[in-house]
Amino acid sequence: MKQEEMKCTNQSPVTCPTKQHDLRHEVCIQALTIGSDQARQGSVEWLGLVETFARSEQLATVVHASPGTRVAQIELLLGLCYATGVYPRTHTEWREWNESCRPLTDVAERLASAEFDGLLDPLHPEHPFGQNALLADHLDPHGYGPAQLGIERCADYNQFADHQHLFDGPLPMREAVLAMLTQHHYGLGGRVRAKTSWLGRAFTFGSVGRLAGRVRTLALGRTLADTLRLNLTPHRPPPGQDFSGFNFSWTRGPVQRRTFDGATAHMRRSVVRPGDLHSVLGRSVLLRADRSAAGELVVDRVLMGAGELLEPLGADALQDAVMDSGRPLQASAEHGLWRDAHALYAACRTHTKGNDLFSRLASLRRPITLWSVGLVAKQRSATTWVSDTFPFDPKSQPALLRVSKEAAAWTDFLASCVEKAAIVARDVVYPQARPDERKVLLKRFHPGSLLFARFEGPFHELLDDVAAGVAAETALACFAEQAVHASRAALRERLRGLPRSATALEAEARAEARFEATLNATDTFPLLKEAARP
């Protein structure tokens, strides 16, 4: 459904009531359709929210170049299931929904009703979707380009003295909405580009987003509808309180939000419902729209400041969290997610009876893919996204836990063997190196994180084989051969990068001998030792 086009240059949404952009019908979800057969691939389409739910059984998944934005789209769709009341109330009902493939077309029908008129419009004059209308008076005189919305683009908000990079734009409305939703979930903490005089001093300091500090894990189904059913948390609201808690905007809804000065400037609030959890407003944002020369609705100005502060989340709000030393697993650019797969499978133990995602998945007795996503950031600058998928089947869970744990330990051991060999080569080539130089010189001979990159492919082959029914011992023996070969190859590539000389040949021979000796001396990993034999 096309909305009336209205030119509204240099005016904010709150001063332009005739402009509308109802996301129920305007495109805001990027999805991959299911191909008609194996030989024909699906196509990528932009859809409105009503159409997304109406066609959810014919859509494979949501897509986007940014893994965090893919997560944000799923978070929005899950939140709207609760907002429309279409969600399971008990674990038994959740299982019935997933075993019978209960359609989600009810969500589309209820979203299309008059009850949701104006609630999902990012240009609504009083309560723009996902935004804080209290910023309206400051948007025109102080707003700047939409580049700051994109976590990957804006990086440190104070990166350049002139901030010219923040004025890149404009941005199509559909991309601006997705970037805004991603900010709500993954916004980085610290000082933001805002002034104390706007709403208060506390407005200039943003908190770390709900998902920015941990790895988010989702269960992926055969279709988008299947994915949503799998990730819905059963919830039975208290009698007489069947409201969703969905945060349509800063100024609408039953939730009491903080101010940015006075007694409530640092007020934290508890998450009250699953719909609230999936739509927490991690930033105060206001978008200004305009029409491009081609007539496309775009966002040309943005203001963004601090958002909500939450009390520490309890177990009910961390249904998917993989715990590591008592806290949710965090993302690392150097430590790939695959190296923590054993922690993921440990969370999926079939004998657990807790109220968490993994316990529910174990009750289904069918194969599922687990998708983990994390944001790696250095201070206030986003470094990269890390994401990975892992097969899960309750029948093979014990074997998957075993092989992932053993294989991760093997790769750590092989890395130590390579490091000891690299130290030998360094000491042969640079026998007189000063203590402060030795660590830097070692990098010339040690493959570092590139070694673990060589292990990643064989590791996933190992998991896929075990999930497909291959015996754990057979799969581990195959992985051992591949891992040893990868270690040798990585070390030789580093050593053969040296200029050909007697010293280089000696370093190469002694380093390789040290690697083989260390590997064959172990009694802890017999399969590795066996794989190392000629």
Token pair of 500 as six digits: 């050909």
What pLDDT shows up at residue 497? Answer: 77
Are 58 and 160 found together in one domain?
yes
Query: Across the chain, how many H-helices and E-strands are there?
Result: 18, 15
Kindly state whether residue 8 falls inside one of the protein's structural domains: no
Per DSSP bridges, beta strands 59-62 and 44-47 are unpaired
Residue 45 pairs in a beta bridge with 31
What are the structure tokens assigned to 214, written together?
């941990």
Could you tell me if 64 and 172 lie in one domain?
Answer: yes
6 inside domain = no
pLDDT of the residue at 163: 58
Residues 427 and 368 both lie in one domain: no
Three-state SS for 446-495 is CCCHHHHHHHHHHHHHHHHHHHCCCCHHHHHHHHHHHHHHHHHHHHHHHH
CATH of the domain at 528: 1.10.132.100
From CA 56, how far away is CA 109, in angstroms rounded? 13
Judge if 336 and 363 occupy the same domain: yes
On whether residue 5 sits in a domain, the answer given is: no
Which of 378, 394, 410 marks a domain boundary? Answer: 394
Q: Is 498 helix (H, G, I), strand (E, B) or coil?
A: coil
- If asked whether residues 23 and 89 sit together in one domain, one would say yes
169: Cβ–Cβ under 8 A, 6 or more apart, which residues? 145, 146, 147, 298, 299, 300
Classify residue 7: in a domain, yes or no: no
What is the residue-averaged pLDDT of the chain? 87
Q: Are residues 303 and 160 in the same domain?
A: yes
Question: Are 335 and 299 contained in the same domain?
Answer: no
Domain ends where: 364, 394, 424? 394
At residue 385, what is the residue type?
W
What string of H, E and C letters represents the secondary structure of 39-89? CECCCEEEECHHHHHHCCCCEEEECCCCHHHHHHHHHHHHHHHHHCCCCCC
Is the same domain home to 102 and 23? Answer: yes
Regarding whether 296 and 259 lie in a shared domain, the answer is yes
Whether residue 115 sits in one domain with residue 262: yes
Torsion sign, CA atoms 275, 278, 280, 285: negative
Q: In whole angstroms, what is the distance from residue 471 CA to residue 355 CA?
A: 31
Give domain status of residue 444, yes or no: yes
Q: Which residues contact 471 (CB under 8 A, 6 or more apart)?
A: none
For the four alpha carbons of 136, 139, 142 and 147, in that order, the dihedral sign comes to positive
Per-residue pLDDT tens over the stretch 472-490: 999 999 999 999 999 999 9
What is the per-residue DSSP string for 93-123? HHHHHHHHT---HHHHHHHTSGGGTTTT-TT
The total of structural domains in the chain comes to: 3
DSSP label at residue 212: T
Residue 281 sits in the same domain as residue 329 = no
The pLDDT value recorded for residue 8 is 44
Task: Clarify whether residues 144 and 166 are in a common domain.
Answer: yes
Answer whether residue 517 is part of any domain. Answer: yes
Residues in CB range of 410: below 8 A, 6 or more apart: 479, 480, 483, 525, 527, 528
Say if 372 falls within a structural domain: yes
Q: Indicate the residue among 272, 292, 309 that finishes a domain.
A: 309
Range of the structural domain that residue 409 is part of: 398-532
DSSP sequence for 408-423: HHHHHHHHHHHHHHHH
Task: Give the alpha-carbon dihedral of 199, 201, 205, 211, to 10 degrees.
Answer: -50
Per-residue pLDDT of the chain (534 residues; tens, 9 = 90+): 333 333 344 444 443 434 789 999 999 999 999 876 655 677 999 999 999 999 999 999 999 999 999 999 999 999 999 999 999 999 999 999 999 999 999 999 999 999 999 999 999 999 999 999 999 999 988 888 888 888 877 654 444 445 555 666 789 999 999 999 999 999 988 888 788 888 889 998 889 999 998 999 999 999 999 999 999 999 988 776 656 789 999 998 778 899 998 888 999 999 988 999 999 999 999 999 999 888 889 999 999 999 999 999 988 899 999 987 778 899 988 889 999 999 999 887 644 456 789 999 988 989 999 999 999 987 777 888 999 999 999 889 999 999 999 999 999 999 999 999 999 988 888 888 888 888 888 888 888 888 999 999 999 999 999 999 999 999 999 999 999 999 999 999 888 877 778 888 888 899 999 999 999 888 888 888 887 787
pLDDT score at 60: 95
Place of tokens 């007697």: 502
Q: Is residue 450 part of a domain?
A: yes
Helix or strand or coil: residue 170?
Answer: coil
